[in-house]
Amino acid sequence: MKMTSGVEAALHSCLIMHWREGTPVTSGRLATFFALPPAYLQKTLRALVAESIVGAARGKSGGFVLIRPSESISLMDVVSAIEGRSPLFHCAEIRLDGQSGQLGPRSGACSISHAMHRAEMSYRRALAAQSIADLAQQAGSTVRERTLSALS
Amino acid sequence: MKMTSGVEAALHSCLIMHWREGTPVTSGRLATFFALPPAYLQKTLRALVAESIVGAARGKSGGFVLIRPSESISLMDVVSAIEGRSPLFHCAEIRLDGQSGQLGPRSGACSISHAMHRAEMSYRRALAAQSIADLAQQAGSTVRERTLSALS
DNA sequence: GCTCGAGTACTCGGATACATGCTGTCCGAGTTCGCTGGG
DNA sequence: CCCAGCGAACTCGGACAGCATGTATCCGAGTACTCGAGC
């Protein structure tokens, strides 16, 4: 149970795209900025394109841009775009196999699955409660200025 | 980001051990009950032994037993025993690499790391709030009776 | 000087190898029970 | 009949393969800018 490293890159990239306010950023530019493999970062960003979080423009002055207001892009959106929407704890219902599955009619979902699901919902809610805009505000204007000038 | 399947097996096994109230259960018995690979389930349970959640007795009448009161064994204990204690989102601090790391003194941890950590704490707290005893109570006495008789 | 057009350089996009870690398996170490022989 | 000792069977324990997913990479498709020739 470990989160993909691409999530961190995606979030940082989204933050920068938010600051650029519509001006496209190339994956190569971001890659050198973060010292990450260019092709891999690009692949990660494409996952955001597939989820309609950012838009991709080809050509010499192309790049990636946020296509939704940053207030409406939650951390949950980015995480699920990279990691997928499958739950952390997928109950394989081992009780249904072997002898445990022959204990007669079962009373709904098992308590374990229920408890794990509840905890996971708490996690997802916490992620959904924060947006890219919130992150930008918390980061402050100083970081913003320095980042933008370094990217120019 | 997917939870190991061993967690489900470990939780179900703990629930059964709780019901057995000190009587050891062999991994082989649990494996046939759940229709799982015996050696693999045993390996999983040994992780619980390493964390002093359950005890292992060798010999002909050996097996695994809970060695702590089930009220004090939280889901978090079991999950961290199987999955380890490393956080879901390990911030690699990509801002420190490349150009982004040369933007001057940084004001503490980045906001992204902070936000992700907060969500994760919410998850961990939800898991820590529930114990094996709680699960047993939610499961009900009917399931308990059937399970115990099937294991005898 | 202005316009049109081809070329070029840069971008994203999909298909393809490599690595790490979960999944599954094997054989060895250790302990308890049961049987057997003797007292 | 009781007890000690030995053997066997069962258990856990650690080391060893197999496979799936994340990580990393390459080359092809497409677009905007640029430069030059023609009008």
Q: Is residue B101 within 8 Å of residue B38, measured between CB atoms?
A: no
pLDDT tens digits, one per residue of A96-142 = 656 766 665 555 568 899 999 999 999 999 999 999 999 999 999 99
* Cα dist from A94 to A40, A59, B27, B72, whole Å: 37, 52, 15, 25
Protein-to-nucleotide distance from the CA of A39 to the C1' of C4, whole angstroms: 37
Q: What confidence category does residue B104 fall into, taking pLDDT thresholds of 50, 70 and 90?
A: low
Q: What is the pLDDT of residues A16-28, one digit of tens each?
A: 999 999 999 999 9
User: Are A123 and B118 an interchain contact pair (Cβ–Cβ within 8 Å)?
Assistant: no
Q: Could you identify the residue written with the tokens 């933007």?
A: B103
Q: Which residue has the tokens 């009161």?
A: B69
Nearest to A1 among B83, B101, B112 (CB): B83
| pTM over 0.85, yes/no | yes
Whether B105 shows a pLDDT value over 60: the answer reads no
Q: Give me the amino acid identity at B85.
A: R
Q: Which residues of A91-119 are buried (b: 16+ CB within 10 A; e: fewer)?
A: beebbeebbbeebeeeeeebbbbebbeeb
**Considering only CA atoms, which residue is closest to the C1' of nucleotide D34?**
A60
Q: Distance from residue B60 (CA) to nucleotide D8 (C1'), in Å?
A: 11
**CA–C1' nearest nucleotide, residue B39:** C25
Q: How far apart are CA A116 and CA A113, in angstroms?
A: 5
**CA pair distance A130, B54, nearest whole angstrom:** 39
CA distance A95 to B13: 11
Write down the pLDDT at residue A74. 98
From the alpha carbon of A41, which nucleotide's C1' atom is closest? Answer: D24
Contact across the interface for A4 and B1, Cβ inside 8 Å: yes
Using a 7 Å cut-off to protein CB atoms, list the covered nucleotides of chain D. Answer: 8-15, 21-27, 29-33
Query: How much is the pLDDT for B95?
Result: 66
Query: In this complex, which of B97, B123, B140 lies closest to A34 when CB atoms are compared?
Result: B97
Beta partners for residue B25, in sequence order? B64
* pLDDT digits 0-9 by tens, B12-32: 999 999 999 999 999 999 999
| Of the candidates A24, A23, A138, A18, the residue with the CA atom closest to the CA atom of residue A71 | A18
Yes or no: say if A97 and A59 are a contact pair by the CB < 8 Å rule.
no
Measuring from the CA of residue B3 to each C1', which nucleotide is nearest? C22
